[in-house]
Amino acid sequence: MKKLYSLLLILVFTACEQPGPKQTEQAEFISKGKINYQLNPEDERMLDSIQQKTFQFFLNEHHPEWGIVKDRIKEWAPASIAATGFGLACFGIGAERKLITREKAAQITLNTLKFFMNSEQSNLADAQGYKGFYYHFLRMDTGKREWNCELSSVDTGLLMMGVIFARNYYDGDSETEKQIRELAAQLLGRIDWDFMEMPAGDKFAHSISMGWDPDNGLHHMGWIGYNEALFLYVLAAGSGMTNVEKGYESWLRNYSWETPYEGLSHVAFPPLFGHQFSQAFIDCRGLVDGYMKEKGIDYFENSRRATLVQQQYAIQNPHNWMGYDSLCWGVTACDGPTDKYNFDDRKFIGYAGRGSSGPENNYFDDGTIAPYGAISSLPFAPEIVLPTIRAFNERYSDKIWGDYGYYDAFNPTAGWFDDDYLGIDEGPLLIMVENFRSGLVWNYVMKDKIIQDGLNRLGFTYLEKTDKSE
């Protein structure tokens, strides 16, 4: 009996020592820091001026108690939660550039996080959010939902990317910075990502819904195909969304690979902001998923090609708009002249998601140029963006430049120059100039566990260069 018992013990211990299934090793994704491009002193001063002026928007247009940032400077404008997310990163930039003290930047950030943490989360129509998500626009006087807008997945996502930056940037021992990290963890942790999952059965299957409202439920469309929401899947994946891999399959299935000009094949999305918003926070140099690996280019190179396509489109100028050339381009979502400026066969529109991926694929191109569109592509193609900035300054001077830097847009054909600034345009401009110069926002966002886990879960890797890349 003792022999049998001993034999059983040996078998048990032997079984316990047997190696189980090998765990998939987590890849490490890093910020590669600033862009390796030599600036002359004049360009350094020019970028200093752009950043200093643009930062004033966030300094002056945030709520003094709640921290939320206005959508635009008009008196009637509500706060935009996306502009607020960009603003959280911009206050860090301001501290690094000595445009504000670190203590003041931290206090504004803490006020913002407290506002969202203490906001009403319910399914009532006048709440500020639900299930950890927030409404797209919030009133500046009450902090409540404005315009019956949607509970927005992508705008909440941009807010949370700012929160991720903040919890990594404010790493000090002061009570303010400790509270920032604590509140950031709570805000990120209470989002119910499964709530935004689209049902199975069509092309949006399991994708992240564009939004929700109390009267109609989930929006009928989900985020699929290449656009500004790439980061949203990384964020959701890193935060534990149950079926995010299936949703990402729907996202990838709807990509459109196009070759508008020789040598510039890329996943198309006509508005430039779609190539910039995600990469304001995530350093995509070398990053590929299964689709991009097969194509042989990374997401950063994809955005570079999209930028070069826009320049080529302006040179080609198929609609003969005034001003378009190699040094005047940038078709993206922005304000516009409206139909008040129509003449002959020339028709103009107001705010629209303008864009161009070449002559056969453009949205609402009515001759309107948005300076932030070109400038936010500085990390991708500095050799064409810097001369374009200089040309903007030489040709249009104070017509496009004001208290907060470049106005949102202008249209030479219509003789129209905007007098407004938009937070979701000012933010990417300031962030991408800083990423170009120092890699600051990339440095602090890329180290976050949510980003690391999200990229791993979606199967991202670093591209090994092959001859396949066009």
DSSP state string for 186-239: HHHHT--GGGGBPPSSSTTTTPBBSEEETTTEE-S-B--SSSTTHHHHHHHHHT
pLDDT of amino acid 444: 98
Which has more pLDDT, 464 or 387?
A: 387
Q: Where are the alpha helices (DSSP H) in 239-350?
A: 244-253, 290-295, 299-316
Which has more pLDDT, 105 or 24?
A: 105
Q: Cα–Cα distance between 296 and 290 in angstroms, integer?
A: 10
Mean pLDDT of 396-424: 97
Sorting pLDDT into bands at 50, 70 and 90, what band is 8? very low
Name beta bridge partners: 70: 79
Residue range 133-181, pLDDT digits in tens: 999 999 999 999 999 999 999 999 999 999 999 999 999 999 999 999 9
Q: Which residues in the chain are classed under CATH 1.50.10.140? A: 256-462
Answer whether residue 24 shows pLDDT above 80. Answer: no
pTM for this one?
0.94
Sorting pLDDT into bands at 50, 70 and 90, what band is 22? very low
Query: What percent of the chain clears pLDDT 90, i.e. is strictly above it?
Result: 93
Q: Cα–Cα distance between 82 and 156 in angstroms, integer?
A: 7
Answer whether residue 81 shows pLDDT above 50. Answer: yes
Instruction: With residue 79 as reference, give the H or E element that holds it.
Output: strand 79-80
Sorting pLDDT into bands at 50, 70 and 90, what band is 260? very high
Query: What percent of the chain clears pLDDT 70, i.e. is strictly above it?
Result: 94
Only one residue has tokens 């990053």, namely 287
Tell me the average pLDDT of the chain.
94
CATH no. for 256-462: 1.50.10.140
Q: How far is CA 79 from CA 17, 61, 125, 333, in A?
A: 59, 9, 17, 18
Tokens of 164: 């991720």
The answer to whether the beta carbons of residues 385 and 377 sit under 8 Å apart is yes
The answer to whether the beta carbons of residues 255 and 265 sit under 8 Å apart is no
Question: Cβ neighbours of residue 90 under 8 Å, at least 6 residues apart?
Answer: 54, 55, 58, 426, 427, 430, 431
Lowest mean pLDDT among 4-13, 306-315, 444-453: 4-13
Which has more pLDDT, 2 or 302?
A: 302
